[in-house]
Structure 1
């Protein structure tokens, strides 16, 4: 069925010229009673109208459309674009041009929304960064001022103040080191040294390293039953050690007294292995789950600072796993516990 919705300028010119020439040709035929004269008149009017209408469309309408396209892409047209404007654009229907403009508008709206989101994230990040540095700096300043005001004369007080100042300096050093590591991971400056290794052995080593911390809260660190069979992965062993170490430390901080930290391992498919670290602690509410891998994001700011850490551990985990071109995820329920899982590449021959 004939449709006028997607006519190109040439087709539109031809249709308009035809609608003009046919009635006029019939009129000449009726007046002159000569069919040949009517046909010739209609043909002349058709040809003249076709070129005139085409010229008007090309010179006025599509010249304006070309300017719109140039404005959309905000660039001086190169040879390829000039060819497009000269030969391809005039063949498009008004509807197709309208679709192009609507598509561009949607893309720009999405870009603006992303920019606003990034700007909000940047502001929040800078506020958090300032707060994280401000706390230890003010603490150090307070201890130093107290020492200068006379506390230095009392050995027991001066030693305690210096020890507290040293702890805050160490906190700042850890913060700077973590920020530096994230920056290197983001920029790709930190290369990965991948090798085959058994993931269960690595987790057992981390458990052993952190055994003093976990035993302090009487927390058991175990490997899930049925996940004992050795699984070999291909990754940067030391980087993955850092990921597992951060996850087990978090599980210790937010786990419950006399609780359990459980590691499980699954061969997801021929190319990937899934590793999960679970605790039975306080859990995370659903509103926070999508943001826990952001730098400095804390689900409970006061409580999180009390248990220590820079607030960058999970962000570092995310960057390390993504540097391996793998994924990391979280599942959690309040007062039930949290599971953080990540994938690794399977063994390479």
Structure 2
């Protein structure tokens, strides 16, 4: 392992790179130089053979000419003369020179031991080509002794006629020995150059790697949390500027970490002193952050390694809905052991979920805010119970009052004009109180889930048209134009027609009450983008609602202008009833309003198939 890590160091890599560069350069130079020297020696050797062969051919031309002319008397003298000339004047070390006549017969040879060749024919291809007056006839051959030789054959001409040929075969052993010596010299020079380069490479590499090692030590110190050390700056080159940049980065990182620690302390302080409990879970659902108030509300000692789903008693499907943002708020009951023994009601916690989003990664966690709403829920429950009790207690006397009023209307009193006026007032007040009691009873049934839904397939367009027809008289009285618009793809929906009619009646009634003469009312219905919800909205051009009242507009008995609402016959329960009906259908309702510009109330209902299944 140590040897492997040693060869992975930058210093060794630089030295190896230097050596490889020198080796490649020397090899390229050596190949070119040796090839050039070899070619030069071979060319010089060949030219030397050709020059001597050319000189010999000129001497032999006059000697071979009588043979062409058929002077047989002097042939033997000519052969002896040529042998003498070839042996004495044209002897080449390690070479054999032969003179041949026009019939390729050996006339003379320079080798004493080859005198028996005289009178025999030389059947070499080069000789045949020379006798055909082809001047360039040379080739390298390897004889039976594995000796490389150079062969040259030149024609001998006399009066432009080929009278014979000169054949030269010379050994190239000395030439290749010279080339081998050059190779050895070059190889020795390469080894010396590599040695010197290795030494210089180590020195140069050390000058580069030494500052890098200092930066490495500084980086390791920063990783351990020590920011006081500074990397040495040994020059103004690239590594020196890198060291300065690294020192600057270390200073800024120290400042950033200090600021981050300060912010973390602030966050911890805020979380610790919050009146609400806060827990945060990672993408797997395990709690990673919490505050002291959350421990108190959930009555546990720690959240370390605890899943949020098991802690809050949620199923994995419900937690997935929460993480996807489809269920932002839930209520959970918590009962301690003492409360279970005493039979007292447990605490009610309101949990508000917020998904944690990270860029390019989607949802990476969930934050849950816990609020103790036990007292609030008790007050709300008491108010609901009060409304139910009062409604039941007042219904009988109100019915009696209505009966007496009818008797008065029948002429029971003698003063007809006065009695009719009294009867009218009693009748109006009675009707108003009956409406109030009816609304309270309806709310009570909705709160206690005693008003089951009777869903049936309903034509949405027909339902909205019938609502407009029911209020046509009031619309004409105030010259208000009502418009119904339904998307083409929306035909029918499964819903409780009677209850949704009541929602629409309340919304249209409010719109007519608070829209001035000559105004407009728009009723629209459409599907949401994912085709899972039916969205119905009622928009008017009325007086609008102040922003300060929007947050409480759905509260029971809440009126923006109490005196005016009573004069118009309002009970303050219409929007509350509408909200409860929509909630019973599994939908939501919202209101948007601008003062003196108009109000838009929108509610959504799940699009269900027959049998109550989601569409």
TM-score normalised to structure 2 length: 0.35
SS in 1 for 2:451: coil
User: In the alignment, is the contact (CA less than 8 A) between 1:293 and 1:314 conserved in 2?
Assistant: yes
2:539 maps to what in 1? 278
SS in structure 1 of the partner of residue 338 of structure 2: coil
Moved more, 231-240 or 199-208: 231-240
- Structure-2 change in CA distance of 1:229 and 1:253 (3 Å): farther
- For residue 273 of structure 1, give the secondary structure of its aligned residue in structure 2: strand
Aligned to 1:345: 606
Asked if the contact 1:233–1:344 (Cα under 8 Å) also holds between the matched residues in 2, the reply is: no
Whole-Å Cα distance in 2 between the matches of residues 247 and 228 of structure 1?
24
**Equivalent residue runs for 1:185-200 within 5 Å:** 185-200=446-461
Structure 1 residue corresponding to 2:445, chosen from 170, 181, 184:
184
Distance 2:378 2:454 in 1: 32
Q: CA deviation at 1:69?
A: 7.3
Q: Are the equivalent residues in 1 in contact too, given 2:533–2:604 (CA < 8 A)?
A: yes
Query: 2:353: which partner in 1?
Result: none
Number of aligned residues: 237
Q: CA deviation at 1:126?
A: 6.7
Mapped to 2, the partners of 1:115 and 1:255 lie a distance apart of 39
- Larger deviation, residues 173-182 vs 152-161: 152-161
Q: For 1:172, which of 433, 450, 455 is the aligned residue?
A: 433
TM-fit CA distance, 1:155: 1.2
The change in CA–CA distance for 1:279 and 1:69 in structure 2 (over 3 A counts) is: closer
| Structure-2 separation of matches of 1:77 and 1:186 | 26
**Partner in structure 2 of residue 259 of structure 1:** 519
3-state DSSP class of the match of 1:75? helix
**Is the CA contact 1:256–1:281 (under 8 Å) kept in the aligned structure 2?**
yes
Task: List per-residue Cα deviations over 1:248-289 (Å, max 9, x = no partner).
Answer: 010000112100010112211221111100000000111111
How many angstroms does 1:118 deviate by?
5.7
Deviation per CA, 1:155-179: give whole Å up to 9, x if none. Answer: 1011110121111111111111111
Task: Give me the whole-angstrom Cα distance separating, in 2, the residues matched to 1:249 and 1:311.
Answer: 12
1:118-139 CA-to-partner distances (Å, cap 9, x unmatched) read 6389679979x99xx8xx99xx
Q: Which residue of 1 aligns with 2:336?
A: 73
User: Equivalent residue of 1:174, what SS?
Assistant: helix
Describe how 1:1-349 pairs up with structure 2 within 5 A: 73-75=336-338, 110-111=371-372, 115-116=375-376, 119=379, 152-224=413-485, 227=487, 230-268=490-528, 269-348=530-609
Partners of 1:312 and 1:322 lie apart in 2 by: 15
Larger Rg: 2
User: 2:565 touches 2:571 (CA, 8 Å); kept in 1?
Assistant: no
- Select the structure that is richer in strand: 2
Q: Cα distance 1:126–1:301, how it changes in 2: closer, same or farther (>3 A)?
A: farther
Give, in whole Å, the separation in 2 of the partners of 1:201 and 1:171: 30
What runs of 5+ residues in structure 2 fail to find an aligned partner?
1-298, 302-334, 342-368, 611-615
* Contact 1:234–1:344 (Cα < 8 Å) also in 2: no
Whether the aligned pair in 1 keeps the contact of 2:479 and 2:517 (CA below 8 Å) is yes
Deviation, 1:154, is 2.0
Whole-Å separation in 1 of the counterparts to 2:490 and 2:555:
33
Q: Please tell me the root mean square deviation across aligned C-alpha atoms, in Å.
A: 3.5
Instruction: Return the alpha-carbon distance in structure 1 between the equivalents of residues 596 and 385 of structure 2.
Output: 29
Write 1 or 2 for the structure with the bigger share of helix.
1
Contact 1:232 1:346 in 2 (8 A): no
* C-alpha distance 277-296 of structure 1, shift in aligned 2 (>3 A): same
Deviations 1:10-62 (A, max 9, x none): xxxxxxxxxxxxxxxxxxxxxxxxxxxxxxxxxxxxxxxxxxxxxxxxxxxxx
- 1:203 deviates by 0.9
CA contact (8 A) 2:535 2:605 kept: yes
